[in-house]
C-alpha cells in the first residue's frame, strides 16, 4: 500500500493532537528536531525511514506498528534485525551525557534533579 507523504503528515499531526502533544514535546521525546517533525507533518519531507518512524512512535507513545500502518509499511515487509533486540543502556551514562537533554513527558529535567535522581538510584550514596 502506497501512502502519500501529505496524507501521512496529516495523519501524524492528527495523532499528535489526539495525544495532546505539541510538536516540540513529541520531537523531544523522539530525539528529533522540531523543524524535521513539522516538515513531515506538512508533507514537505518524504515519509521517514523505519528507524525514524520508530522514534516518532516513541515520541507519541504509540506502537511502531501503528506508525508503520500510517506510513503504508507492513510489518511482514520488515526483516527482523539486530536492532529489534533489547538494548542495555546505563542510566548513569545517559544522565551524565552532556550532549543529551534529559526529558520527562516533554519537560526538560533540570541538572539538580538529575543529580538527585542519581543519588536515589545509588541508594542515597554520593559516589
Q: Are residues 29 and 54 in the same domain?
A: yes
Q: Are residues 101 and 39 in the same domain?
A: no
Average pLDDT over every residue of 40-66: 92
Answer yes or no: is 95 within a domain: yes
Q: Are residues 70 and 101 in the same domain?
A: no
Q: Give the range among 4-13, 26-35, 46-55, 72-81 with minimum mean pLDDT.
A: 72-81
Q: Are residues 54 and 97 in the same domain?
A: no
Average pLDDT of every residue of the chain: 85
- Give 122's pLDDT tier (boundaries 50, 70, 90): confident
Cell numbers 504509540 correspond to: 62
Q: Which domain holds residue 41?
A: 5-77
Average pLDDT over every residue of 12-35: 93
Q: What is the dihedral of CA 4, 18, 31, 76, to 10 degrees?
A: -50
The model scores a pTM over 0.75: no
Q: Are residues 10 and 29 in the same domain?
A: yes
Q: Are residues 100 and 59 in the same domain?
A: no
pLDDT of 98 reads 82
Cell numbers 503528515 correspond to: 9
Answer yes or no: is 83 within a domain: no
Output 79 or 14, whichever has higher pLDDT.
14
**In contact, 58 and 29? CB cutoff 8 Å:** yes
% of residues, the chain, pLDDT over 90:
46
pLDDT of 86 reads 73
Cell numbers standing for residue 108: 526538560
Answer yes or no: is 127 within a domain: no
In the chain, how many domains are there?
Answer: 2
Answer yes or no: is 60 within a domain: yes
Average pLDDT over every residue of 78-93: 67
Average pLDDT over every residue of 53-81: 82
Q: What is the dihedral of CA 32, 33, 39, 41, to 10 degrees?
A: 50
Amino acid at each position: 500500500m502506497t501512502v502519500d507523504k501529505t496524507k501521512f503528515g496529516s495523519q501524524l499531526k492528527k495523532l499528535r493532537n489526539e495525544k495532546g502533544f505539541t510538536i516540540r514535546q513529541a520531537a523531544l521525546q523522539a530525539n528529533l528536531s522540531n523543524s524535521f517533525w513539522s516538515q513531515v507533518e506538512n508533507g514537505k519531507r518524504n515519509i521517514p525511514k523505519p528507524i525514524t518512524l520508530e522514534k516518532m512512535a516513541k515520541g507519541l507513545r504509540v506502537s511502531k506498528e501503528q506508525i508503520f500502518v500510517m506510513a503504508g509499511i507492513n510489518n511482514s515487509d520488515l526483516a527482523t534485525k539486530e536492532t529489534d533486540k533489547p538494548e542495555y543502556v546505563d542510566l548513569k551514562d545517559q544522565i551524565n551525557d552532556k550532549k543529551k537533554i534529559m526529558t520527562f513527558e516533554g519537560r526538560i529535567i533540570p541538572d539538580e534533579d538529575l543529580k538527585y535522581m542519581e543519588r536515589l538510584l545509588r541508594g542515597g550514596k554520593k559516589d
